[in-house]
Amino acid sequence: MKTFIKKHNRTLLGGLIGAALGYAYYYFIGCSNGTCAITSNPINSTLYGTLMGGFLGNSFKNESQTKTSK
């Protein structure tokens, strides 16, 4: 488990930050009448933020992490 966390730490950190920002977006800005598919529900907004944060965190991997051993 420690090796998984060490290997994917930037993706996991990005996902956590994205989840917090997604919920904050729902709470402070979100749509109250239910017509917005993402921002009208806190679960959808948090999951979307987690996904986007994970993608963004994954894009900042070190060169040593992206090389494969032969």
Q: Is residue 64 part of a domain?
A: no
Q: Is residue 70 part of a domain?
A: no
Q: Is residue 26 part of a domain?
A: yes
- 11-50: pLDDT as tens digits: 999 999 999 999 999 999 988 787 888 888 999 999 999 9
Q: How many domains does the chain have?
A: 1
Q: Is residue 28 part of a domain?
A: yes
- Which range of residues forms the domain containing residue 41? 19-58
Q: Is residue 32 part of a domain?
A: yes
Q: Is residue 14 part of a domain?
A: no
Amino acid identity of residue 61, one-letter, is K
Does residue 1 or residue 70 have the better pLDDT? 1
User: Are the C-beta atoms of residues 64 and 58 closer than 8 Å to each other?
Assistant: no
Q: Is residue 53 part of a domain?
A: yes
Burial of 49 by CB count in 10 Å (0-12 exposed, 13-18 middle, 19+ buried)?
buried
**pTM to 2 decimal places:** 0.80
